[in-house]
Amino acid sequence: MKYIFITGGVVSGLGKGIVGSSIAAILKSFGVKVYMKKFDPYLNIDPGTMNPIEHGEVFVTDDGAETDLDLGHYERFIDVNLSKNASISSGKIYEHTLLMERRGQFYGKTVQIVPHITNLIKEEIYTLDADVDVDVVICEIGGTAGDIESQPFIEAIRQVRMEKGIKSVMFIHVALLPFLKITNEYKTKPIQHSFKQLLGLGIQPDIIVTRSETEIEKKLKEKISLFCNINEESVISCPDSESIYFVPQTLYNEKIHEIITSQLEIKITKPNFSWWEKLIKNIKEATNNVKITIVAKYFALKDSYLSVIESLKIAGFATKNNISIEWVDAKKLNIDNYKQELKNSKGILVPGGFGESGIEGKILAAKYARENNIPYLGICLGLQVACVEFARNVLKLSNAASTEVDINTKNPVIDIMNGKDKYNIGGTLRVGGFNTNIKKGTLAYNIYKKNVIRERHRHRYEFNNDYREAFESKGFVFSGIYEEGNLVEIIENPACNFFIASQYHPEFTSRIGKPNPLFKSFVSAVVKYSYK
């Protein structure tokens, strides 16, 4: 087994996840079997209870883990289903350690960061699912070099290198190379200091990936090489790109794969870049601009909807359309302004979310789409608000609501699942992959062309089956059902050209070159019906 550890320097948010995913995609193209992991230094057990505006999207794996959004990039780039073993936080490590201490599993020894915490981190590094066949594990270490929180992880990977050797372990450092406009030059000093931080912790990076605004000159590589004690060819330029999907090509052109496969002595086959070349071709040929309106409650941080955004882009690439997203703040939509705010919408997407804020705005968005025959895609909460809107305005149940918002509503068309705890919010959701049976002759069946699909969920409220007959009497269609629990998974309104919503999150299974069918059909419907 070979291991590649990716660290970050100078500032956060440089795209370590994209760099790691791109390296994995390149290696996979050479026939190397890859797997990816994320180690986060925060003390939360997982991101599941974190505010999306604080930390961005919570990505869900098929086995039900609530993880960092970088796992979404990993899965999209390498087309591999990751698991709970791919997402490890300090909180998870410390919780495990303290439970072991309470159970007496340390046999009375003093419990310390080294070796007890670092040993558990190493166990997580080495642990893979039983059915995973892997040549290289790429591990991203969250945070920035010098952070107090990440030091146990840095110490653990130092020990891994000692245990496995330089031919089995590689360190890649992604660091900012800032450009000072006042002097019109790039400054290498921040990278030098970041490198020194790692050296002080026992880590000698084998490759430095410089994140800069533009491609850097040879003399800058020479300077970084000299002061950071690595070969010049191991200084990799990774400038800003118009698309994250161009980054694999950038790193390939810098020959990063040659350095990796040489040091780690990895045998490679003739590369297969057909998927990559097709993607780039489609991106460059996507001249038709398609506008999608996203009605969002987490308006302040667009990363709250990262997989939705990327799924739309991937669907656009597959249909050779350039997706342009227009954001509408659900919390600011009201009965007086919603028609004006949405009048230019060509397609409306209402994504998931939790809590009361923005609900009425999302209900109005579903109303506008239905009444004006605008292609509509609802996801999770987007399904629930579409049901509430239909109940209020078609079934004339004026006080219809979700009990998440109004516990005393007389018409709870959306209600909490049996056995779910609405107060203890951590780890109490219906989360992970579940099967959906699709009815033939429906829009959903036409989209998926399958009797049974598997998609990922993250919610605790469901459509109330007591109202199913009333909805159907007015033409509403429940086209997807989780039969084991008799739960509604997909709804559609045949009175509209394209109006469909899912209780699951289709964005979590979109891959490069393989857009989720719901997203692809939604984009195609917007083109067909709104750009005649």
Q: Are 51 and 100 in contact (CB under 8 A)?
A: no
Pairing of strands 477-482, 430-438: antiparallel
Q: Report residue 131 CA to chain centroid gap.
A: 23
Q: Are 351 and 315 in contact (CB under 8 A)?
A: no
Give the separation between CA 338 and CA 328, rounded to whole angstroms. 10
Give the separation between CA 496 and CA 501, rounded to whole angstroms. 13
End-to-end Cα spacing for the chain: 54
Has 507 been annotated as catalytic? Answer: yes
Q: Which amino acid is at 531?
A: Y
Point out the catalytic residue in the list 257, 457, 459, 505.
Answer: 505
How many CA atoms lie less than 13 Å away from 240 in the CB half-sphere?
9
Give the separation between CA 411 and CA 467, rounded to whole angstroms. 9
Q: Which residues contact 125 (CB under 8 A, 6 or more apart)?
A: 3, 37, 137, 139, 156, 157, 160
Provide the greatest CA pair distance for the chain: 75
Point out the catalytic residue in the list 139, 238, 380, 496.
Answer: 380
Q: Are 464 and 471 in contact (CB under 8 A)?
A: no
* Residue found under tokens 């800058």: 220
Identify the three-state secondary structure at position 291. strand
Q: Which amino acid is at 43?
A: L
Q: Are 415 and 402 in contact (CB under 8 A)?
A: yes
Concatenating the DSSP letter of every residue in 387-436 gives HHHHHHHTS--TTEEETTT-TT-SEEEEEEPTT--SS--TT-SEEEEEEE
Q: Which residues contact 220 (CB under 8 A, 6 or more apart)?
A: 177, 186, 188, 210
Q: Which residues contact 465 (CB under 8 A, 6 or more apart)?
A: 486, 488
Token output for 336? 């007086």
Q: Which residues contact 24 (CB under 8 A, 6 or more apart)?
A: 34, 36, 74, 77, 78, 136, 138
Q: Are 22 and 4 in contact (CB under 8 A)?
A: no
Please report how the helices 274-285 and 306-318 are oriented relative to each other, as an axis angle in degrees rounded to 10: 90
Point out the catalytic residue in the list 57, 360, 404, 507.
Answer: 507
Give the separation between CA 516 and CA 377, rounded to whole angstroms. 13
Has 140 been annotated as catalytic? Answer: no
* Residue found under tokens 């019109």: 184
Token output for 179? 């450009």
Positions annotated as catalytic residues are 380, 505, 507
